[in-house]
Chain A
Amino acid sequence: MLFVVLVKQVPDTTEVEVDEETGTIIREGVPSVLNAFDEFALNEAIDLKERMDEDVEIIAVSMGPPQAKDALKKCLAIGADSAILLTDRVFAGADTWATAVTLGRAVKKIGDVDVVFAGQEASDGNTAQVGPEVAAQLGISQLTFVADIEKVDKESGHIICKKETDEGHVRIKAELPAVIACMPEPGFEPKIPNVRDIMKAKKKSLDEWTFEDLGGDEEEYGLDGSESVVIRTYSPPPKGEGIKIEEKPEIAAEKIIEFMEEEGLL
């Protein structure tokens, strides 16, 4: 079986600050890390591989500048078997759609992929669009908010997952091949690669694919292939101070209703 895990290198959100004047993210000097959602997806893929009786190969794929290799190196250390970096000036400036075009072409080129794992979203853009868009590109099943994978059965051609919903969880079955967008549950702790894992990763293959490798028209990729434009990035203004009511529930409820009436909310 063949699994592909889509990963992204993102600025470390604990280090990010926003320029108050321009409203843009200050990226200078901010370390880059592997997107936590993608790290969860990779951990799920490895966990599934370890549970399965048959041979499974895991390929980590990322689109990004040359330095995104660091994120892929980490994937190799965590347990991916090989990695591919999609890097080319043609890919630069891509929105989620153009990113999905690039990733989708790479998955097609790899060929015979059974499951494509993605993080539910990336911590820098939080769009949660790329995974589903890749599925659309490939014309295959898509499952989002996946918290756990119960089973992948190539013989019956199905995948069974636990999907998070507003009400709790649902068990859901889909046809293979499928794209699954993974959402870590609270308390998830990713595998920490040890020195031996890291040194073993040095011997694993990490290829670079460019526009030439993926083919198609240049206009389909990067800024030219993007359907959306970012006009402005800004931090929302802080909310005003709230009102705290410390009363018995029935009195508190009355006071809340009173407040809402005063504000014209009822």
Chain B
Amino acid sequence: MARTKLSDDRDLTEEQKLFKESINDWAERNFPLERVIRINREGHPFPQDIVEGLAELGLIMVTVPEEQGGMGLTWSDQIVIAEQLGYIDPSIATAAGFMAVETGWGFTINRYANEEIRERYIKPAIQGDKFVGIATTEPKGGSDVAGFESTGEKDGDEWVLNGEKTFISGVEECRRMGGGYWVNVRTGPKIPEAPHKNMTAFFVPIDTDGVQPQEPYDDAGRGSLSTSGFIMEDVRIPDEYMLGEEGKGFYYTMEGVDNARILIGASSVGVTRRILEEAADYIKERETFGRPLAKYEGIQFPFVERYIELEASDLMVKKVAKMQDQRYDEEGWLERTGKAKTYKPTEIAKWISMIKYKVPHLAKDTADDAMHWLGAAGYSSEYIFETAWRGVMSYCVGAEGGANIQKLVIARETLGKDYIPYK
């Protein structure tokens, strides 16, 4: 029986079709589902050949301008790549997870970094030789981005950073490969009615004196991409390693969060598509009481419902990518006039939150359904479903904002600021 295919590429550009084909060919040769499952079961360290493969294929930070070492692709191109990486890596812990962290935050760091950071860290990261990431969450919380406690004090032409960051993706990979993190610290007094002010972003190389990486957590899923944290004790960072302007870290962080959330939404479309295809192959083949499972309405109806949600999600992600393309095309206009030409950044943030909420949950719920359809086989790690379920759960509970944070953003933009619950 021919494998079930649920993708329709006819609306893609010729280049986008080739991106997908290359990713599929690479995965088929080096990175089949059996290996995804095995890597997740075995855990750290992150396989270096996957980093090298991503870099050789040119899939890291594709939206960084060509003159800065990237590919200069649009976000509409980027989501096709992210979706396909989710498709080949439904664990979101290997190719898809690595790309999402590197690209979402690498792109944004690059926008606000000076030439030295670009040369020393961003370009090598694009080549797969270094790791860059984001470290916002602190022991006292993560969802409340402006509620952080780390501090930065000016000392001559340096800043002295102190504090602790936790539940940070890729610390082990960063230690091994070299690289650094986007770190937010408070560089002025905390203003109770506006805690997001005086937040300043720095790029902190992982090997800076005073940066003390912590032991990795033992996560439920995402077995190969490490999660841990680091303490900063009198970490001295030069002025030039400030990202953008002093005191504007909150706004830059929100931009970076948006960029990473799009990748998460797009990857989750790919994860869902793969789960449904793999499940379809099984339910069409496996018989019970003399008929294939797919003939039972108790199975085919929920299958169809998930498929409808998948295609709706795919359309949403494509819409968001177009908004994002306009956002960066019209950036100069926004800066000059102070007004958005097409979409206000907060409107785009609403749509991005919608996909960040919807699609990872869809992927997780679809994996859950598939496990029920397959029964014991679905629960076993012979199939991808439980690995995917444990992986995408991390996108539901956190990773660039938990589910309820997305709802807060959507409520703020639909009901109005007067109804923000925490004010």
Contacts and interface: CB of A to CB of B under 8 A. Distances in A.
Interface stretch (A67-75, A97-105, A113-121, A211-219): A67-75
Interface string A1-31: 0000000000000111100000000000101
Interface residues of B, number: 22
A69 B25 CA distance: 20
Contacts of B17: 70
Given A69-B14, A195-B73, A74 B58 contact: no
Residue of A14, A16, A189, A199 with most chain B CB atoms under a 10 A cut-off = A199
Contacts of B73: 195, 199
B56 interface: yes
Contacts of B377: none
B3 interface: yes
B29 A196 contact: no
A201 B25 CA distance: 18
Nearest to B15: A198
B18 A196 contact: no
B57 A189 contact: no
Interface string B22-51: 100110010000000000000000000000
Interface in B36-80: 56-59, 62, 71-73
Contacts of A199: 15, 71-73
Contacts of B62: 195
Given A15-B2, A15-B3, A195 B71 contact: yes
B19 interface: yes
A195 B29 contact: no
B337 to A, nearest CB: 32
A202 B15 contact: yes
A192 B14 contact: no
A188 to B, nearest CB: 12
A73 B58 CA distance: 18
Given A15-B3, A74-B21, A199-B71, A192 B15 contact: no
Contacts of B15: 73, 198-199, 201-202
Interface string A76-120: 010000000000000000000000000000000000000000000
Contacts of A201: 15, 18
A198 B21 CA distance: 11
A28 to B, nearest CB: 12
A16 B29 CA distance: 21
Contacts of A29: 5
A156 B31 CA distance: 46
A73 B22 CA distance: 13
A15 B281 CA distance: 13
Contact of B14 (A17, A70, A189, A190): A70
Contacts of A73: 14-15, 18
A190 B29 CA distance: 10
Interface in B219-241: none
Contacts of B56: 194
A194 B60 CA distance: 11
A17 B3 CA distance: 11
Nearest to A198: B18
Nearest to A15: B2
A193 B18 contact: yes
A70 B59 CA distance: 21
A190 B15 CA distance: 19
B57 A194 contact: yes
A193 B24 CA distance: 11
A198 B22 contact: yes
A8 to B, nearest CB: 17
B22 A193 contact: yes
A103 B14 CA distance: 24
Contacts of A77: 18
Given A17-B2, A189-B29, A196 B14 contact: no
A15 B5 contact: yes
Nearest to B29: A189
A20 B22 CA distance: 33
A193 to B, nearest CB: 6
B58 to A, nearest CB: 3
B66 to A, nearest CB: 9
Interface string A179-192: 00000000001101
Interface in B274-328: none
A26 to B, nearest CB: 9
Contacts of A195: 19, 22, 57-59, 62, 71, 73, 81
Interface in A36-79: 69-70, 73-74, 77
A192 B22 contact: yes
A192 B31 CA distance: 14
Contacts of B71: 195-196, 199
A214 B167 CA distance: 66
Interface of B: 2-3, 5, 14-15, 17-19, 21-22, 25-26, 29, 56-59, 62, 71-73, 81
24 contacts: A14-B2, A14-B3, A16-B2, A17-B2, A29-B5, A69-B14, A70-B14, A73-B18, A77-B18, A190-B25, A192-B25, A194-B58, A195-B19, A195-B22, A195-B58, A195-B59, A195-B71, A195-B73, A198-B18, A198-B19, A198-B22, A199-B72, A199-B73, A201-B18
Given A192-B22, A194-B22, A194-B56, 7 more contacts: A15-B5, A190-B25, A195-B22, A195-B62, A196-B71, A199-B73, A201-B15
Interface of A: 14-17, 29, 31, 69-70, 73-74, 77, 189-190, 192-196, 198-199, 201-202
